[in-house]
Chains A and B, each alone.
Chain A
């Protein structure tokens, strides 16, 4: 059965300045249509109503994709293999646009239109508040008063996943990460990346050519991911490498399989704020869609993946220790040590000790994982 859940929490840095959470996530599963959406409102002072903007974006998207799925989904995606399309700039020729591409362009245009209308309505009915007068620089308040379209003040990113019994598709504008789990490779980012999202820069619904910045992927040949997780950049910035983020998601999936959804949701509500504190300090959002049958069947594969990862890291630590030791033994043969060599020796010694420490930590992790694996395997044989 397909289930979905989501959670957003305020960033550590926002708590410090009195800003509200500017992320918005939602999930919904009705009549075979499952939708997960994560929107991240921009944090700068100029974007002072981006919390409203991200809610409007999520609502507009839900409306649009529901209609879209009802009207054209089944015929459009029938039998289509997995296809991923980057931002429009990657298309070679106007001729390259297929019926699916045109349909998506229409869908995205409609989402942008609906978002424009919702934020305009809000801007025209809610005047500048007392809090805004006190906390937003006057030049941005002025920009807001003079604006006709208000997109900057409500600016946000948008990531969505839609699934029905016969197909699934996902699309994205801006930063944040979408990771899917399936047979091979065990995890991947199905939606193409946009290089314009780099460090703290991102593409956005408030960009002048937003329609050109959507990326998307779809599949209608009967294959579905076991699980898919959408996370705002507060989450992936806390982990550095995407490998680390995927590993965190594996933790979530293991917990879902072993302890069920309510326990996992409760744990996330506790964990995400902690993560924001020690990591990115930013607002955190995660939305997850998963098939619990598939998850139960593949939990063992997920643990095995983690074990393989840790084993590789142990090997790396081992080879670093070996080469540092080799250096040290070659230096010990020298009669005279100049300044440079003395420094090299001290670095090599530091390398040995820090790699050993890392190795010990990794061994600890390895043991823990092996324990989880054998527990799972014995559970499976019992069933």
Chain B
């Protein structure tokens, strides 16, 4: 009897990539079409990364949110097994509910079953507008979740009406929010973000100084420079005031 006989299982580690897709009414038409097209095309790429990666296998889970929320499947599926079903747009933008659902699944009893043998997940949020529900309490709950804290988080803001502050709040930094202004850019960015997150997310990291989140952001930002109609990050400003005869009076 060997120690590693048939009774012992040594499972392959898992990295899960989550797509959170805004399917509200405003996404109707070209935008949702582009999302469907992009995801269908990126799945084989993710599958290839999974197959050639000795460290981990990559699984995919997708949640669409509009007036309600729906997981495309009730458990994450291997990228090679994941058959994409086109999502349809219509309704409001329940981001808060989406956060609650995601938080529930980011647990050992949810989608993160082989806990100690897993890598931090990657979460990609796509939205073109602002939340119509109480997203703050949903997000607060999500932020308390250890898996969410460790996850690679990227948001893709589709168009100028997207609420970038909310997306910044979700991802934790403005550099992790990429804004796209046209359909081609949307498709390309989805591909870049999904591929980069999968590559970096599924590697065994050494406890170095650059987090996986930062590495992904850097690579995505670099790629964004070459894509027409995409921009990453943002900036801020401040101001000042002037003087009086109050001083004279006290002289």
Contact = CB atoms under 8 A, between A and B. Distances in A.
A199 B120 contact: yes
Nearest to B117: A240
B209 interface: yes
Interface in B101-126: 113-120
Contacts of B118: 199, 240
A32 interface: no
Contact of A199 (B1, B85, B119): B119
22 contacts: A43-B207, A45-B208, A199-B120, A200-B204, A240-B13, A240-B116, A241-B116, A244-B10, A247-B7, A251-B5, A251-B8, A267-B2, A271-B2, A278-B10, A279-B10, A310-B7, A343-B83, A346-B83, A347-B81, A368-B7, A369-B7, A372-B1
A240 B83 CA distance: 27
Given A13-B204, A195-B146, A306-B7, A239 B117 contact: yes
Contact of B206 (A44, A199, A236): A44
B6 interface: yes
A275 interface: yes
Interface string B194-215: 0000000000111111000000
A251 B1 CA distance: 9
Nearest to B150: A199
Given A239-B11, A281-B204, 13 more contacts: A13-B204, A44-B207, A200-B205, A201-B150, A238-B117, A240-B118, A241-B116, A244-B8, A271-B2, A271-B3, A278-B10, A347-B81, A365-B7
Contacts of A42: 207
Contact of B3 (A241, A252, A281, A372): A252
Interface in A222-266: 236-242, 244, 247-248, 251-252, 254-255, 258
A23 to B, nearest CB: 15
A contact patch SS: helix
A47 interface: yes
A103 B119 CA distance: 38
B4 A244 contact: no
A135 interface: no
A47 B13 contact: no
B236 interface: no
Interface string B1-34: 1111111111101000000000000000000000
Nearest to A236: B116
Give the one of B7, B204, B209 with max A CB within 10 A.
B7
Contacts of A238: 10, 117
Interface string A25-49: 0000000000000000011111100
Contacts of A240: 11, 13, 114-118
A339 B85 contact: yes
Q: Is the interface of B mostly helix, strand, loop or mixed?
A: loop
A242 B11 CA distance: 12
A12 B147 CA distance: 27
B243 to A, nearest CB: 47
Nearest to A44: B207
B3 A251 contact: yes
A293 interface: no
B8 to A, nearest CB: 5
Given A239-B117, A241-B117, A244-B11, A200 B3 contact: no
A199 B55 CA distance: 14
Contacts of A368: 5-7
Interface in B51-79: 55, 73
Contact of A268 (B3, B73, B208): B3
A361 B11 CA distance: 14
A251 B7 contact: yes
Nearest to A346: B83
A5 B83 CA distance: 50
A340 interface: yes
A350 interface: yes
B3 A267 contact: yes
A316 interface: no
B150 A244 contact: no
A113 interface: no
Given A45-B206, A240-B114, A361 B6 contact: yes
Contact of A248 (B3, B55, B83, B204): B3
Contact of A241 (B6, B7, B115, B119): B115
B206 A274 contact: no
Nearest to B81: A350
A254 B1 contact: yes
B173 to A, nearest CB: 19
Contacts of A281: 55, 204
A251 B55 CA distance: 26
B215 to A, nearest CB: 14
Nearest to A248: B8
Contact of B4 (A271, A340, A365, A372): A271
B5 A241 contact: no
A45 B6 CA distance: 37
Nearest to B146: A198
A251 B2 CA distance: 8
A131 B51 CA distance: 35
A21 B156 CA distance: 43
A275 B1 CA distance: 16
A324 to B, nearest CB: 13
A79 B206 CA distance: 45
